Chains A and B, each alone.
Chain A
Amino acid sequence: MNSDLRREIILEHNQHPKHFGLVGNDFEKIKANNTSCIDQFDLEIKIVGDKLIDLHFAGEGCAISKSTTSIMCDLVIGKSIDEAKKIINNYLAMISERPYDKELLDEAIVFSEVYKQPNRITCATLTWSALSEYLETK
């Protein structure tokens, strides 16, 4: 993917994040706070049976953390818990320069070069890791 297209996708998700805004009520809540910088997001998730029916988020964060969370929601909504875990694991593998399956990540591959900026790795993984931890309890 060329860098202009990559930028365009990231900035579009930053300026107009999808699945943004909290609904409350019958959603479970997940907190994703970065202790070393200032990103703070809340996720709301709904799981029925073994399926991740809905996921959205709200909070404050940099362009990377906000856009990647928007893309993450897109990717995992409608998936089974196992499928969602697989997508997350592949994404985290990509960020930490381990082998990963590109096909599973769709738009999330825009972050494939984040590893070049070590101070942004936490931004790119904050909400993914929080969701991963939550799903491990399921």
Chain B
Amino acid sequence: MDTNEFNYLNPQIMYFDNGATTFKPQSMIEATADYYANFSTNIHRGDYDLSLKAELAYENTRELVAHLIKAKNKQEIIFTSGTTEGINMIVEGFFKQILKERDEIVLTLTEHASNILPWYRLSDELGLTIKFIPLNESNEVTLEALKHTITNKTKVVSLAHITNTIGDIRDIKAISEYLHEQGIYLLVDAAQSIAHTKIDVIDMDIDFLIFSGHKMYGPTGTGVVYGKMPYLKKMQPLILGGGMNDEFDESGDYTLKPVPYCFEAGTPNIAGVIGLGKSVEMLLKIGLLKIEGYERDLREYAIEKLKMLPHIVIYNEHNAGHTILFNIKDVFAQDTAIYLNQFGICVRAGSHCAKMMPKVLGIKNTCRITFGIYNTKSQIDFLVKALAQGADDVYGDVI
């Protein structure tokens, strides 16, 4: 990919676990270090120049993120610690306020734990019903299946834009159009899509969009919630304290700052948010359409090569996206991952936090490749060569 942001990476390491987290661009690392070294001050303390500088840099990221996802208003961007916190914030802060007993929530079996467990707990508390959209033979969600799942009791559909297992891409625009005709809310988990495909919250008409910074080449401990302003105004902050209140007195009265500041209590991850701005700038500079094409090309190339190896089973050949799920026949996924590790190749083994996936795929554990912008075809050649050798003896040197 056309960027020099990753020239520092060790060429001996072939990192194919970008769905878990990503390596970081040089400019992000420098911006974070610059903050710590030269203006490590708190925001909202504008009496001295250094604090103002920190605040401006922090708020600049809010503008950049709004630009990235085409939000109308930068006040609709809330900084969080990541997707997990973001989904919990919306489930507890918004939906807990408006849902009532017997209301229905619609999910899919391929969701990440973060988009399942907060709903399970809310459902137990309020007496809600959770339904799953049946998947088609390619394990994807179709609009038809969605239409058959929702009823007049359905209040919200919550799903990943791109799943972290088979990596299928959901047609968010078509889904939101249908749901909004029925007055149903749409929450989109964009953790696996934000750095891989273009998102336009206005065109796709998304009510809530949630993603993590570290999966989009940003710092760990950063994340974003986007919500439509009228909804954010109804949302309750889960954490109260400094930085989010306007005033309070001894009688127990208090008022909160406006959206989004009322959702960012305490000293936020200033260094992280400033760094995230650089990652967003890099993505904007390269362009998401270009990234999507580049990664699709890598995936097609890898699948073509892997298919030539008779001992490799691919589970999601016909899905789009930037993910490949595979196993070596009759070898436990973790043994394959440990074997590849000897060559400096990093892949993930397991059920990838989507613990209902085994029901869908019929296999519990797989190896996962998720491409990023610094992966190359020569790295894929190296991977394929290692896997070809593994046909004879995957346990070779690991035991």
Contacts and interface: CB of A to CB of B under 8 A. Distances in A.
B395 A61 contact: no
A63 B328 CA distance: 14
A10 B399 contact: yes
A28 interface: no
A60 interface: yes
Interface residues of A, number: 17
B218 to A, nearest CB: 25
Interface residues of B, number: 13
Given A38-B349, A38-B351, A62-B338, A7 B399 contact: yes
Contacts of A66: 332
B350 A62 contact: no
Nearest to B365: A38
Interface in A28-73: 37-39, 60-64, 66
Given A39-B334, A63-B332, A11 B395 contact: yes
B286 to A, nearest CB: 34
Chain A interface secondary structure, helix, strand, loop or mixed? helix
A63 B396 CA distance: 12
B376 to A, nearest CB: 26
Contacts of B324: none
Contact of B332 (A6, A62, A117, A120): A62
B290 interface: no
Contacts of B398: 117
Most chain A beta-carbon neighbours within 10 Å: one of B333, B334, B364: B334
Contacts of A25: none
Interface in B316-359: 332-335, 338, 349-351
Contacts of A11: 395, 399
Contact of A60 (B332, B338, B395, B399): B332
Contacts of B333: 38
A92 B365 CA distance: 27
Given A7-B395, A7-B399, A11-B395, A62 B335 contact: yes
Interface of B: 332-335, 338, 349-351, 364-365, 395, 398-399
12 contacts: A7-B399, A10-B399, A11-B395, A37-B334, A38-B350, A38-B351, A61-B332, A61-B334, A62-B332, A63-B332, A66-B332, A117-B398
Given A37-B350, A61-B332, 16 more contacts: A7-B399, A10-B395, A11-B395, A11-B399, A38-B334, A38-B349, A38-B350, A61-B334, A62-B335, A63-B332, A63-B399, A64-B399, A66-B332, A119-B338, A120-B338, A123-B334
